[in-house]
């Protein structure tokens, strides 16, 4: 999430009751989580395992629960509860504001776009020109829809990220990390019926121009899907994943989090993707392997009973 204007880091420190180590004159331009940080961003960390990753990231300001060495030019905001401090900032800069109208007064709809009955459009939503939004679609706060986009019935754009902070030393071990990001859908995208696309935790979930999405597809928070991709029914993509241009995911493909599928890759139906894949190749299976190699493997697996029988006969 980007702030409307830069914020003095000294104000942030006072607001979350933190001590500043390092640069005390900096200005923060937004809040982000570790997978998406840019220069000027605030990020939080509350586990030693991730201290170094956060401190060495592009983030300029790190909310942390221990005083450690601070790189030149950066700021550490030391507080006992970094997660709670992050939540304070989200609540302040992007508070929940109910909209009780089907189309919020702050939403904008471009020329020639058709909004069918029972569609809900939240606060600060922007819809481009010549779009068709079918009945019972929900587009939640701050989402951006480009030109010539088609969204079929029952789809939800901008639901909260499935993202929780876990601590075993509290009764409620899983505490929700409030979502302040957006969904950005670029031009000429088509989205089928009953799809769910989660907003970013603090950044953007992006669907690239020309991409076509079938029914019952789920796309997790902060995922970036490139241009001219094809996603068939029941595909599921976890958070903070990058799908490059012209990728095809056939039915029921499952993609894990924080990985990259390269340009032009094709995943055959029911494949599972646990790690990054090179572009320009076809894959199959779970875990997904190059299709031609997986097919050879399946042939040999099918022959195991025959080979076992031959070995047994030799032993007799």
The pLDDT value recorded for residue 109 is 98
The pLDDT value recorded for residue 34 is 84
| pLDDT value at 223 more than 90 | yes
The pLDDT value recorded for residue 171 is 77
Q: How many alpha carbons fall within 13 Å on the CB side of residue 97?
A: 14
Long-range contacts of 40-45 (CB under 8 A, 24+ apart): 40/6, 42/12, 42/77, 42/86, 42/89, 44/82, 44/83, 44/85, 44/86, 45/82
Mean pLDDT computed over every residue of the chain:
95
pLDDT cut 90: percent of the chain above it: 86
The pLDDT value recorded for residue 287 is 95
The pLDDT value recorded for residue 224 is 97
CATH for the stretch 2-93: 3.40.1390.10
Which of 8-22, 33-47, 161-175, 262-276 bottoms out in mean pLDDT, i.e. has the lowest? 161-175
Tell which CATH classification among 3.10.129.10, 3.30.70.260, 2.160.10.10, 3.40.1010.10 matches the domain 108-291. Answer: 2.160.10.10
| pLDDT value at 243 more than 80 | yes
Q: Which pair of structure tokens corresponds to residue 59?
A: 């983030």
User: The pTM is what?
Assistant: 0.92
| pLDDT value at 41 more than 90 | yes
The pLDDT value recorded for residue 221 is 96
pLDDT, one tens digit per residue, over 135-174 is: 999 999 999 999 999 999 999 999 999 999 887 777 778 9
Mean pLDDT confidence for 200-213: 96
The pLDDT value recorded for residue 154 is 98
- Residues whose CB falls within 8 Å of the CB of residue 284, separated by 6 or more in sequence, listed in order: 267, 268, 271, 291, 294, 295
| Integer Cα distance of 162 and 267 in angstroms | 25
pLDDT, one tens digit per residue, over 173-198 is: 898 999 999 999 999 999 999 999 99
Q: Where are the domains of the chain?
A: 2-93, 108-291
Pick the closest to residue 41 from 181, 238, 145, 144 (CA basis): 181
| Integer Cα distance of 269 and 13 in angstroms | 50
- Given pLDDT bands bounded at 50, 70 and 90, which one contains residue 306? confident
pLDDT, one tens digit per residue, over 61-78 is: 999 999 999 999 999 999
**What are the residue numbers of the active site?**
221
* SS3 label, residue 68: coil
């Amino acid at each position: 999430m980007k702030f409307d204007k830069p914020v003095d880091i000294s104000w942030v420190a006072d607001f979350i009751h933190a001590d500043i180590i390092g640069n005390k004159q900096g200005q923060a331009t937004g809040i982000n989580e570790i997978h998406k940080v840019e220069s000027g961003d605030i990020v939080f960390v509350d586990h030693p395992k991730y201290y170094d990753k956060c401190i060495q990231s592009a983030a300029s300001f790190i909310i942390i629960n221990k005083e450690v060495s601070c790189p030149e030019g950066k700021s550490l905001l030391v507080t006992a509860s970094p997660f709670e401090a992050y939540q304070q900032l989200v609540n302040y800069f992007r508070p929940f504001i109910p909209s009780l109208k089907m189309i919020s007064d702050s939403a904008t709809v471009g020329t020639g776009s058709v909004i069918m009955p029972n569609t809900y459009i939240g606060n600060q939503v922007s819809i481009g020109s010549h779009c068709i939004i079918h009945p019972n679609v929900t587009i939640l706060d701050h989402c951006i829809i480009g030109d010539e986009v088609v969204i079929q019935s029952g789809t939800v754009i901008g639901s909260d990220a499935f993202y929780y902070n876990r601590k075993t030393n509290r009764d409620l071990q899983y505490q929700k990390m409030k979502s302040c990001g957006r969904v950005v859908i670029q031009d000429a995208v088509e989205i089928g019926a009953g799809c769910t696309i989660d907003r970013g935790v603090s950044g953007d979930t992006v669907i690239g121009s020309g991409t076509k999405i079938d029914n019952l597809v789920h796309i997790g928070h902060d995922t970036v899907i490139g241009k001219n991709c094809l996603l068939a029914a029941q595909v599921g993509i976890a958070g903070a994943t990058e799908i490059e241009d012209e990728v095809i995911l056939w039915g029921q493909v499952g993609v894990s989090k924080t990985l990259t599928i390269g340009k032009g890759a094709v995943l055959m139906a029911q494949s599972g993707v646990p790690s990054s894949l090179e572009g320009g190749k076809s894959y199959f299976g779970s875990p997904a392997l190059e299709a031609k190699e997986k097919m050879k493997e399946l042939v040999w697996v099918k022959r195991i009973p025959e080979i076992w029988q031959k070995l047994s006969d030799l032993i007799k």
